[in-house]
C-alpha cells in the first residue's frame, strides 16, 4: 500500500532561485546592507560593487525588516564594534602570546629542575651505598679483630 506523504516534500528555498545578472551582464552577488536604515537586509548588487565601473544594479533579497528588529540589529552591530575596539586597545592578543611564552619558559625550567632532582637522587644513592659499604667494612674489621683476639687469647 503506497501513501502519498512525500508529495509535498519539495520546499522552495529562501534564496531567490534564478540568479539575477546586473547591468554589466555579470552574475549579481548577494550582499548585506550595513546602513542603519536597512541593517542586515540582503540584496543583489553589481558584481563590481567596489570598483568605479559599478553599474549600481540593486534588488532586495529580503523583505523589509520591521523597525524594532532593525534597531536591535543596529544596536548589536554597534556593541560588537565597541567590544572589538576595546579588546584591541587592551591588547588582549599580545597578553595571551606573552603568557604562552612565559608558560613555555616555565615548562623548560620545570624540566631542568626534574633533571637536577634525578641527579641529586643518584648522588644520594651513591652516598647511601658508600655508607653501607663502610658499615660492612667496619663490621668485617670488628669480626676479624674479635677472631684475631680470640686466637690471640687462646694462645698459650
Q: Where along the sequence are the contacts to Zn ion (CB under 5 A)? A: 22, 24, 46, 55, 57
Q: Which is nearer to Zn ion, 56 or 67 (CB)?
A: 56
Grid cell digits, residue 20: 539575477
Least distance in angstroms from the C-beta of 15 to Zn ion: 20
Nearer residue to Zn ion within complex by CB, 22 or 39: 22
Contact 113, 105 (CB under 8 A): no
Measured from the CB atom, the residue of 55 and 77 that comes closer to Zn ion is 55
Smallest distance from Zn ion to CB 40, Å: 23
Strand order in the sheet with 58-60: 30-32, 42-45, 58-60
44: number of Cβ within 10 Å: 20
The upper half-sphere exposure of residue 48, i.e. CA atoms within 13 Å in the direction of its Cβ, equals: 9
Task: Tell me the closest approach of the beta carbon of residue 51 to Zn ion, in angstroms.
Answer: 9
Question: Alpha-carbon distance 53 to 106, whole Å?
Answer: 58
CA distance 52 to 41: 24
Minimum gap (Å) between residue 13 Cβ and Zn ion: 24
Instruction: State which residue, 24 or 61, has the beta carbon closest to Zn ion.
Output: 24
Amino acid at each position: 500500500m503506497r501513501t502519498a506523504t512525500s508529495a509535498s516534500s519539495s520546499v522552495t528555498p529562501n534564496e531567490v532561485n534564478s540568479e539575477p545578472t546586473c547591468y554589466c551582464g555579470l552574475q549579481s552577488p548577494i550582499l548585506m546592507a550595513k546602513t542603519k536604515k536597512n541593517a542586515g537586509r540582503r540584496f543583489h548588487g553589481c558584481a563590481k560593487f567596489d570598483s568605479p565601473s559599478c553599474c549600481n544594479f540593486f534588488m532586495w533579497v529580503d523583505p523589509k525588516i520591521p523597525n524594532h528588529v532593525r534597531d536591535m540589529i543596529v544596536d548589536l552591530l554597534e556593541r560588537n564594534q565597541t567590544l572589538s575596539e576595546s579588546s584591541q586597545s587592551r591588547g588582549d592578543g599580545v597578553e595571551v602570546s606573552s603568557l604562552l611564552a612565559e608558560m613555555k619558559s616555565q615548562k623548560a625550567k620545570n624540566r631542568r629542575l626534574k633533571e637536577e632532582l634525578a641527579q641529586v637522587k643518584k648522588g644520594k644513592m651513591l652516598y647511601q651505598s658508600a655508607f653501607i659499604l663502610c658499615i660492612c667494612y667496619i663490621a668485617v674489621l670488628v669480626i676479624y679483630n674479635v677472631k684475631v683476639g680470640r686466637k690471640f687469647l687462646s694462645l698459650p
